[in-house]
Chain A
């Protein structure tokens, strides 16, 4: 089992501080990273507010239109999270916020088990209960379960059943509260981030780790290209709503927006403009090649023609990962140490 991103970055923060000097390219790149991630976090906060309002509106008046808005609200917020999911350092480490947003992967179906326990119990669904219930309850996958799980949506507890609605709203509140805290803490974090030159390497490593996770865990593993060769859609993200590929695409777009500009600025400053161009081009190629990203992973894995398209994407992502994680890492002197991918 691979719960991959969950410890990344901890070590980087233990590192001693090295100050940057105002006006240097390094300083400018840190400013660029900080500002861009701030925009991403603010978008996430806006989207989770919309999601919360949509959840309340639907539970007050469960019409088809309200349900559509709710489903869309979940997806928009979830994709906004994918765009900044690569950031594995800074305030997102407080209280395991990243795990709270998305407990993944979940091979033992803990999400369903926890949901059933809460739905069966008598105690009122309060903010405190959500606080106490662990990361499998506290984020996007729990809301996805309530909205999209096949078994759940035909059972007695299916939305808009009162108790499911309570759980939906309380989790949406929890997620919204966490995104607000994250955005505000990220702003407060600015002076510390800018003053510590080591954050440049930390940020570069975060993007590199995200590419590695995309290649290995979000594509190769579900596709059966690793280990025992079995294709398994359930270890992909967001399989319940069929949004695994959309999520991956949003993750790539997030790296393009928040990571690539700083990376290429640094490469240009080292006289590596040609490598920077190749990386930009490869990012575009990956973004353009998402095969029918609306299709659920299950569909892509079950049909040989579509699987070939998925293989094409995988090859492009692998080439991108090689360019960034090998070539750019060497050019920029980034030495990647242990991360939580090293387990089994």
Chain B
């Protein structure tokens, strides 16, 4: 892989140094400077750059861990790869707030985080416990077991599993559920199908699925390893590209375009991203649908049962954008002029309320996380949404309500800042 971009640029180091030791003080208070829309949008780009930079750092660690697993398929190496995957999700899920509103991210992210997926496209599945998307001709194609697959009458050569091939196979046959690439494809290769339904327990792929020679279980171990190698390499290339889009000092990347446009456009994208993730995506698609339909098919990280963390770090990403802060994976802190500073200038009461609501939604998501990770009696997200689980429903509903409430204030913040068009159509016309 070519290194298009290397992380830890100078600007971030400076930003982190500036705020060391006073992490809870608003940037404007300690800088004795007034945040402007222009400085807030520029700092938003810094946040995105730091977040994608961390996603890249942790993806490289994941790639190294999977390479070790492939070279030496032991339980310890499988567990290390799983740990690396879980760590890689922490920054990536915080980056999702950049997705809505920034078309460049939304168009790109399907290759990294598409879900739910019809995993039978990739590898073997237990047929009677596998419900794929209606009308998806690729749902049982099993790329790993085949040199040639047929999707909707089209024959495709899949003999050599390269990153390019996998990228081309994503959404093959026109189905969004044909996810050949990204975090969830890797998750499936590491954990396997979760056959526990609403009961506790995640996927249980045996490490021998990667064993060489006669120890290989479920067949095609060599191709499975090739697949894992290619799909992790592709993740790095994709993240390198996105991190470079947000890097300072370039004249032809997305950051340059965003920061040279009218600052109102940038502010609109920030608020649109926060509100869309908060209400439609997280509260709606990822929490409410799963809960109200009791559907573990709609669980985000369904193979690993890491869904609570995906939700938690989505919420954190929303808060990051409002407060202009981000805690990097090395523990350092990025901070700068924020939406919070801007709103406080003209309506301190609204800023206080929205800040309080963001804290409240993080508290609700923390409760979900704590319950799922409890050492005594853990309850994973897929158990919380089981029919008749009153405690689980209470936890999930608590998070939904907190997110809905904060979205109301995000709308008000937008109006406070003179941004009136927030609906997706208006966004389309405005940009």
Contact = CB atoms under 8 A, between A and B. Distances in A.
A96 B388 CA distance: 16
9 contacts: A3-B289, A6-B284, A7-B404, A107-B134, A108-B116, A110-B293, A110-B295, A113-B297, A136-B294
A185 interface: no
B408 interface: yes
B133 A336 contact: no
Q: Which 6 A-B pairs have the closest CB atoms?
A: A230-B174, A343-B280, A342-B276, A343-B281, A134-B294, A342-B280
Interface string B279-322: 11101110011001111011000000000000000000000000
A165 to B, nearest CB: 22
B251 interface: no
Interface stretch (B10-18, B373-381, B417-425): B417-425
Interface of B: 100, 106, 116, 131-135, 171, 173-177, 272, 275-281, 283-285, 288-289, 292-295, 297-298, 387-388, 404-405, 407-408, 410-411, 414-415, 420-426
Interface in A216-248: 224, 227-230, 232-234
Interface of B is mostly: helix
A210 B271 CA distance: 24
Nearest to A338: B275
Nearest to B135: A234
A107 B424 CA distance: 23
Given A6-B289, A338-B275, A342-B275, A134 B387 contact: yes
Nearest to A109: B134
A113 B272 CA distance: 36
Given A103-B293, A134-B295, 14 more contacts: A6-B288, A7-B404, A108-B295, A109-B133, A135-B293, A228-B176, A335-B415, A338-B275, A338-B410, A338-B411, A340-B285, A342-B281, A343-B277, A344-B285
Interface string A300-335: 000000000000000000000000011000000001
A339 B279 contact: yes
Nearest to B172: A228
A10 B406 CA distance: 12
B298 to A, nearest CB: 7
Contacts of A109: 131, 133-134
B408 A11 contact: yes
B280 A340 contact: yes
Nearest to A106: B134
A65 interface: no
A228 B407 contact: no
B284 A344 contact: no
A144 interface: no
A11 B132 CA distance: 34
Interface string A104-118: 001111100100000
Contacts of B276: 338, 342-343
A7 B295 contact: no
A115 to B, nearest CB: 12
Contact of B279 (A228, A232, A340): A340
B135 A232 contact: yes
A106 B177 CA distance: 13
Given A14-B405, A109-B134, A3 B116 contact: no
Contacts of A7: 279-280, 283-284, 288, 404
A94 interface: no
A206 to B, nearest CB: 14
Given A108-B131, A134-B294, A343 B285 contact: yes
Residue among A96, A106, A326, A342 having the largest count of chain B Cβ atoms under 10 Å: A342
A344 B276 CA distance: 9
A342 B279 contact: yes
